[in-house]
A and B are shown apart, each in its own frame.
Chain A
Amino acid sequence: MSSKDETGWLIKDVRVIDPFRNVDSIEDVCVDGDKIGSASERKDYVPVDGQGLWLVPRLIDMHVHFREPGFENKEDLQSGSRAAAAGGFTAVCTMPNTHPVIDIPSLIQWQQDQAKNMGLVHIFPIGAISKGQQGQELADLYQMTRAGAVGFSDDGHAVMDARLMRAALSYSTTLGRPIIQHAEDHELTAGGVMHEGSISQQMGLGGIPEEAESVMVWRDVELAGLTGGILHVAHVSAPGSLEALEYAKRRNLRVTAEVSPHHLLLTDAAIREWNFNPVTKVNPPLRTEGTRQLLIQAVRQGLIPVIASDHAPHHQDEKELPYDEAPFGISGLETFIGAIFSVFMVDGLISPLDLFRRVTVGPHKVLGIHYPGLTPGAPADFTLIDPQMRWVVDGKKFYSRGKNTPLQGTRLQGRSVATMVNGEWTMRDQEVLK
């Protein structure tokens, strides 16, 4: 395609699904420079045929691990950003469990500078709740907020100390940013590597009970009530957690939650099917079919307003270890859209607008980030999706350094075919352009 310099793009006859404006209709979308323009102005646009495609603005994945600094053999900001572009994301939130931990304003600033230089994806960093994620002392949350942090988490670990959690939640009211809890009682999960149930008992693998998560969610909901704090529960995977969320909703507490695509698509039966291959090892672990159905229902009902990948890339060597010794995590950015499509769209469990609300408006609200939707003057951040495309997952072709996916060989439907960030294509036809 011949690109005319700095003129702009006109995406014609595309199905616009814009949860920010609550719009689902066939439109033309035009891009002027780095902004959305208005198609009425006569100008020299490069046309793009949008027939049969969906266009969704500002897809954001609010839970990714890009591993830099410290673990660049697993991923770095560039490989992670390319994976995000390939997966159709225009923005991500990076978790701070790097080495060193992202717990000071200069590191928050540095990540955003890197993202700007690369121009692949907006990075909205998450800072640590506690210094060094040690769970002992609060990090400087205000200064990190000033530097651009949009939330705080000790992800990878839970904040076990209730007194520290109380302090963090109460401080969050002064920042307008959420405290994102990786909810897990470490005493209850010690030695566990998969969901505790019939299959863990058959396979002789250490179990992680659902209650290890839900006891922590209940505690945190109570602390959110005590403090009025802003709590967001990461990667929910337990029925008891959903009940705690319902309770919080009834009391109008400022509590939200996210779920990961792998918990919506897979169950602990996958661990048997993969025959001890640790590619299925993830924390929280893949649960039972009953829990999976409850999570799907909670997304449909809006109890869970966010879907986030928990993209956790690992080096191949680490996934060739014995199950107990292999690290937890799934490389999830590049299968995200196909996975949620396959769960919700194929059977029509939810409208496209409601599904994408959980990857656009939902996380923006949780994090307190403003985006106006596809209106003239808005940053031209959007994704073109082919809802009919059927494809087979092959981790070896990922842009991410983490090839670890239990969806290897799985047939999915729905895929991002082009991504634009600030008016520039970052991916077209599965090829990342930067």
Chain B
Amino acid sequence: MQDLLDLESLSKQDIIGLLDLSQNMVEILDRPIKKVPTLRGKAIVNLFFEPSTRTRNSFELAAKYLSADVINVQKSGSSVEKGETLWDTARNLAEMAVDGVVVRHQVSGVPQQLADILDVPVINAGDGSHEHPTQGLLDALTITQAKGSLAGLKVAIIGDVLHSRVARSDIWVFLALGADVVVSGPPALLPQKYEEFGVEVTADLHRALTDADVIQVLRLQRERQSSKELPSLWEYHLRWGITSHSLSWAHPDAIVLHPGPQNRGVEIDSEIIESSRSRILPQVRNGVAVRMAVLFRLLGGGHDE
């Protein structure tokens, strides 16, 4: 593994390796003194073209627990407005002699384009509607901790799956680990072609949730209303919101995940977030562990291959 750009192209073996390593990192996080010297002397750039304090903080903490130096570069607006091409951006980073680049961008594919130019590892922290691989891994880790394994589980992903990079990474990792995946939401927001990959696609929430072991609730982007794809948020809540009523269709031991931040009362009710079903807080902790594992694997040197 040279970069972490997506989960679609990762082998099952690579995924399991990263998850095992992440579990070790969870144990480091449980220690009173978390810092380990593994990446001392390494410099990592967090290159965020799209603001996201949560993900950036998570990567930054992960790097610092491994004793790496972190530089945060926040850029906004399109490349066209700034008059800068991706080639310029990449060359500037290379000149700074950094050891790894964590990149988030509002356009799908930018981490891939940067990785084609850069020699150092590139880690995708979310690109457009494409993928968010560390989120997929942390979701898989969270489910594994709760259920032992993903094999044979029914996992339902609910919401705007079409535009969700989280959903795309989730789907690949869940399928690789042997889960049955069903996606549900308003039909215009579902990737209908995913049936080709063995994913069940249905607008019928009842069908999607029936006997589900895991429910991943996606954040609803409010701009879907102005783009004419949705009626009111209340109507969305009525039909696809995760409430104690809809949750009753799922398996009695079903757990609920959400990549955050939540629109309470829209895609999920507060009482579910705060219930024993919720694994939302472990997700946050696992996020740091997964990012430590990824940084370690890509920048640790000598360990892999």
Contacts and interface: CB of A to CB of B under 8 A. Distances in A.
Given A320-B86, A322-B113, A201 B108 contact: no
B112 A205 contact: no
B129 A205 contact: yes
Contacts of B163: 204
B108 A321 contact: no
Interface stretch (B20-28, B35-43, B190-198, B263-271): B190-198
B128 interface: yes
Interface in B99-126: 105-110, 112-113, 116
B112 A204 contact: no
B200 interface: no
Nearest to B49: A322
A204 B163 CA distance: 7
B200 to A, nearest CB: 15
B79 A203 contact: no
A202 interface: yes
A247 interface: no
B130 interface: yes
A321 B79 contact: yes
Contact of B193 (A197, A275, A324, A325): A197
A324 B128 contact: yes
A161 interface: no
Contacts of B131: 204
A240 to B, nearest CB: 18
A202 B8 contact: yes
A273 to B, nearest CB: 12
Given A197-B193, A324-B128, A325-B79, A205 B85 contact: no
Contacts of A317: 85
A277 interface: yes
Nearest to B195: A198
Nearest to A271: B109
B127 interface: yes
Nearest to A319: B85
A325 B165 contact: no
Contact of A323 (B80, B107, B162, B165): B107
B75 to A, nearest CB: 12
Given A203-B130, A324-B107, A325-B107, A198 B79 contact: no
Given A276-B113, A321-B79, A201 B193 contact: yes
Nearest to B107: A322
A309 to B, nearest CB: 26
Given A276-B108, A322-B105, A205 B113 contact: no
B78 interface: yes
A322 B193 contact: no
B198 to A, nearest CB: 13
B85 A204 contact: no
A204 B79 contact: no
Nearest to B129: A204
A191 B80 CA distance: 16
Contacts of B291: none
A205 B193 contact: no
Contacts of A197: 193
A201 B162 contact: yes
B234 interface: no
Nearest to B85: A320
B171 to A, nearest CB: 10
Contacts of B130: 203-205
A39 to B, nearest CB: 55
Contacts of B78: 322, 325
B108 A205 contact: yes
A175 B129 CA distance: 48
Given A277-B113, A322-B109, A204 B128 contact: yes
Interface string A234-267: 0000000000000000000000000000000000
Interface in B144-164: 162-163
B258 interface: no
Interface string A15-26: 000000000000
B7 to A, nearest CB: 12
B109 A323 contact: yes
Contact of B165 (A201, A204, A275, A322): A204
Interface string A183-215: 000000011000001100111111000000000
Given A204-B168, A276-B113, A322 B79 contact: yes
A317 B84 CA distance: 9
A321 B128 contact: no
A352 to B, nearest CB: 39
Nearest to B192: A201
B257 to A, nearest CB: 20
B297 to A, nearest CB: 22
Q: Which of B107, B128, B162 has the most chain A CB atoms closer than 10 A to its own CB?
A: B107
Given A203-B108, A323-B108, A198 B129 contact: no
Contacts of B127: 204
Nearest to A275: B112
Contacts of A320: 85-87
Given A203-B108, A324-B107, 4 more contacts: A204-B129, A277-B116, A320-B87, A325-B107
19 contacts: A198-B193, A202-B8, A202-B168, A202-B193, A203-B109, A204-B108, A204-B128, A204-B129, A205-B108, A205-B128, A205-B129, A275-B112, A275-B113, A275-B116, A276-B112, A277-B113, A321-B86, A322-B105, A322-B110
Interface of B: 8, 78-80, 85-87, 105-110, 112-113, 116, 127-131, 162-163, 165, 168, 191-194, 196, 227
